Structure formats: C-alpha cells, structure tokens
Amino acid sequence: MTGTPDAPRGARAVSAADSLLEKLGVRLDPELLVLALTHRSFAHEAGGIPTNERLEFLGDTVLGLVVTEHLYRAYPDLSEGDLAKMRAATVSQRALARVARTLDLGAYLLLGKGELATGGADKDSILSDTLEALFGAVYLSHGLETARGLVDRLVSATLEAAADLGAGLDWKTSLQELSALLGLGAPTYDVTGEGPDHARTFTAHAVVGGEVRGSGTGSAKKLAEQEAAAAAYATLSAARDAAAAATGTGTAGA
C-alpha cells in the first residue's frame, strides 16, 4: 500500500515484503526494501530520513550493464549505434515505468502527501527511479548474478520489442536522418512547459524545413521531443511515400 509519513514504517515494510518481494522473486532485508521505496518527498516530510536516490544511482548502473551485455551478445552483427538505440529504448523512463506497472509498484511507494495528491504513484519518473532502486537493492543483497536474473526477467519483453522497433528506437535520430534524406535540414524543437515543478507538463513541436511537422507532450522535455519527432517522422514519411506513388518511383527506405 502506498505509504505516507503518518503510517508506521514497520507495518509498511512487512506489507511490502509479503507481496512485492513475492512478485520480484527475491528476498531483501525489510529496512533495505523500505529504503528502496522511499521517495524524497516522503523523506522530507518525515524529517530528512534517507531516500532511495543512492540505490537508484547504483541500480541504474546495474541495469545498464546487464542490458548492454545482453545486447552485445545477442546481436553480434549490429553496429554500436544500433545497439545504443536499442539500449536507450529498453532503459528509457517510459519503458521502465511500464515494467513497474506490471508489478503494481505504485501501490508500494512511500510518497509525501504532496506527491500523493498529484498522482505521484503513477508518474513515469518516480516509477522508473524506484524500479532502478530495487535493482540496486537486489545487487547489494545478492550480487550481480541475482540482479542480472531479475533484470533479464523484468525487461526481456522490452528487449525483444526493441529489436523490432526500427525507427522507433530513437525517433529524434530517425527524424534527423529522414530530414537529411529529403534535403530539409536538421529538425529543431520548440518546447514549452506548464504547471508546478512537481507536476510539470511539456509540449514540443518538431520543426522541419521551417514548418511544424509534429507535436507531442510528456512529463519531461525529452519525452515530449521524442513524441513530437515520432509524429513528424510519420508526417514526412507519408508525404514522401505519396510523392513517390504519384511519380511512380516507389518508396525510398529511411
């Protein structure tokens, strides 16, 4: 259950250990589990107790290593650039948040009252950071091989999907390549943000050849830009294919 600073920490730890750890398939010391679930908003309201940010830092590195090694071994013929795109798609904030939701991780977060009131239990940024903190906790408790097994199990579907994404591995790079192919120059992004710092929403417009070709929104500038790039890529691809069909020249791959 999502916690607040008013709830007994021991009860939350027991509750989380009974259900979340069963989903993860590992055992963790209750105090370490509580630490992995403690968002800075909760820590601040509880008088400055430790947060999960150090564990997140460690787990991010563990995740990156495991995913990078998997891609290196599984795709020996891919270039460094393609492997980097696949890794980015797999460890992105949005991808990790999707994994976290399969665990119902939001129900276990320790959040401050402000974050709870603004839907923090379902924010991509908080979910992805907490998942990384759990990876860090598992690494500390059981070492790399157990952490590797957990990462592999949780992100395997995302890794498989990344292999089939093509242009969607990195929409901004793909849009830049298509824009160059069409002689339209490099894309630029016009980004604006609104709302309070803890619940900010960004809107991005992808400008190619002096025209807005796609727009997107997200909880971070990068997410909004990727969404705008995806929309612009679809727009330019459709225009290119229509022009090719009209002239009978067929479509050119990008």
Q: Is the pLDDT of residue 225 over 50?
A: yes
60 catalytically annotated? yes
In degrees, rounded to 5, the angle at the alpha carbon of residue 93 between the alpha carbons of residues 120 and 155 is: 115
Which tens digits make up the pLDDT trace of 3-25? 554 444 445 445 556 789 999 99
The SS3 of residue 21 is: helix
Catalytic residue among 45, 115, 132, 225: 132
Catalytic residue among 45, 60, 124, 225: 60
Query: For the residues 120-142, what does the mean pLDDT come to?
Result: 95
191 phi-psi bin (left φ>0, alpha ψ -120 to 50, beta other):
beta
pTM score > 0.95 for this model? no
What's the chain's average pLDDT? Answer: 86
Residues of the chain with CATH 1.10.1520.10: 17-168
Residue/partner pairs of 235-242 with CB below 8 Å, 24 or more apart: 236/175, 236/178, 236/179, 236/182, 236/184, 236/208, 237/178, 240/178, 240/182
Q: How far is CA 90 from the centre of its chain?
A: 8
Q: What is the pLDDT of residue 250?
A: 53
Residue 82 known to bind ligand: no
122 catalytically annotated? no
* Dist. CA 117–CA 130, nearest whole Å: 18
CATH of domain 183-246: 3.30.160.20
* Assigned superfamily of 17-168: Ribonuclease III domain (1.10.1520.10)
Residue 69 known to bind ligand: no
Sequence letter at residue 45 = E
Residue 211 known to bind ligand: no
Residues of the chain with CATH 3.30.160.20: 183-246
Single out the residue of 14, 61, 60 nearest to residue 34, CA to CA. Answer: 14
Q: Is the pLDDT of residue 141 over 90?
A: yes
Query: For the residues 83-110, what does the mean pLDDT come to?
Result: 89
Q: Which is higher by pLDDT, 165 or 187?
A: 187
Q: What is the pLDDT of residue 68?
A: 95
